[in-house]
Structure 1
Amino acid sequence: MIAVLARAALPTSRAIRWTPIAGASALLLVAAMLTAASGRPADLLPAVAAAALASLLVGSLHDPAHDLLAPVPVSAMQRRALRLALMGGAVLLVWTALGLLAQTSPAATAVGSLLALAASGVAVAVWGPARTGVLLGAVVPVLWFAVDQAVPGGGLAADLVGLWRTDPWPVVAVALVVCLMGRHR
């Protein structure tokens, strides 16, 4: 099975749309350089970048050839994992560059928040309806970030909405369990 996935990596990488990640990455890197040059703290930039990159990572699950590839011996979940691995490498490269450029605390650019948002989006994409699941999953990271910014701090609601930032690893674990439960979907 590994050999099949290795042979599928090149055609899959050709089928993935790379222009959205390239454009968003360029924009985020320019924003990081501008904030670093201004000398101001870039406290919100890592959170915005995490939401944007997680959304793009989930969006890479869009497979226009899904119906055509249904009869092949590689499951849909394995094809999704291959897409995530290919795009995940690019996303982690951009995240590392942002961490080096942004003048924030190391905790703000830790990979946990990015993984929490991405895993949550993937879980929604896996369990969502066939036609719109990936779109719904790609909206989840951005929506979660927006709700986190909108909810006033100091209460239970703010604590729950901010879990992706403050305690991302349980969020990742729950999302991975949800994904594994839907592996045959």
Structure 2
Amino acid sequence: MTRVARPNLGRTMVAALAPATRSVAWAPFGACAAAALAVVVVARSAGFGSPHVVAVVAAGVLAGGAALALDDPADVLLAPVPVSVRRRLALRLVAVVAACGLVWWGVDVGLGHGVGVRPEALAALIATGVGVTTIVGRARPDLAADAGAAVVLAWAIVPATVDLGALAGLGTAWTTRPAAVTVAAVAGIALGGHRR
């Protein structure tokens, strides 16, 4: 029996990280990251807004930027090719999550360490954006990133600025139950990734 040499997946993924990082939509992410930091600077200098509300708005804007950064312009081009959508997404996520961590550190420093939104809540919100992006991408790849960004922006900002009454618990679930939200988002990512 002849043994077939298989490529080393780890080396392949590491080699693909640089091209995947170049394929990230950095302009919308950068605009959202700058807006998240600007929200903190303006709120702090003007002295308005509770630190928690400011952090929630900044988290929503940053998570929206993360979803927009995952827009894959090669999706349509690579549709007939057996290229793993999950691998492209995973590689772009590595770069985007690292960038989100740096921006969130700036938000945390700007608000005062430990004030506002916990990192796991931000991770839950980002995972939700990725989940929505992945699910919508099955049917409409051209709208997927916009849908992910819209959902996380609305989920973060609306409950922080509008009284939702009986739905308040749902509106703040990403901050109060981040583990459950992350599990649901990962399930969405797993389901959404099955299109090829």
Normalised by the shorter chain, which TM-score bucket?
A: 0.7 to 0.9
Letter in 2 for 1:118: I
Q: Is the 8 A contact 1:35 1:102 kept in 2?
A: no
CA distance in 2, matches of 1:178, 1:9: 24
The residue number in structure 2 matching 1:170 is: 180
- 1:159 maps onto 2:192 in alignment: no
Q: How many residues align?
A: 183
Alignment partner for residue 63 of structure 1, among 54, 63, 72? 72
The residue number in structure 2 matching 1:137 is: 148
- 1:111 maps onto 2:119 in alignment: yes
The residue number in structure 1 matching 2:5 is: none
Letter in 1 for 2:55: P
CA distance in 2, matches of 1:147, 1:30: 19
For normalisation by structure 1, the TM-score amounts to 0.85
> After superposition, what is the alpha-carbon deviation per residue over 1:10-58, rounded to whole angstroms, capped at 9, x for unaligned?
1222222323333333343344345445666523221011111111111
- 1:17 maps onto 2:25 in alignment: yes
Alignment partner for residue 101 of structure 1, among 84, 102, 110? 110
Against the structure 1 CA distance between its residues 85 and 125, is the aligned structure 2 distance closer, same or farther, given a 3 Å change threshold? same
Deviates more, 1:135-144 or 1:27-36: 27-36
Alignment partner for residue 37 of structure 2, among 29, 38, 44? 29
The residue number in structure 2 matching 1:53 is: 62
1:44 alignment partner, SS class: helix
What do you get for the CA RMSD once the two structures are aligned? 2.4
Against the structure 1 CA distance between its residues 115 and 152, is the aligned structure 2 distance closer, same or farther, given a 3 Å change threshold? same
Q: Is the 8 A contact 2:67 2:130 kept in 1?
A: yes
Deviation at 1:109, TM superposition (A): 3.2
CA distance in 2, matches of 1:137, 1:43: 23
Segments of structure 2 that go 5 or more residues without pairing to the other structure are 1-8
Against the structure 1 CA distance between its residues 145 and 29, is the aligned structure 2 distance closer, same or farther, given a 3 Å change threshold? closer
Letter in 1 for 2:23: A
Q: Is the 8 A contact 1:113 1:168 kept in 2?
A: yes
Deviation at 1:74, TM superposition (A): 4.3
Identity %: 32
Q: Is the 8 A contact 1:117 1:140 kept in 2?
A: no
CA distance in 1, matches of 2:80, 2:11: 18
CA distance in 2, matches of 1:36, 1:151: 21
For normalisation by structure 2, the TM-score amounts to 0.80
Letter in 1 for 2:116: A
Segments of structure 1 that go 5 or more residues without pairing to the other structure are none
The structure with more radius of gyration: 2
CA distance in 2, matches of 1:6, 1:121: 25
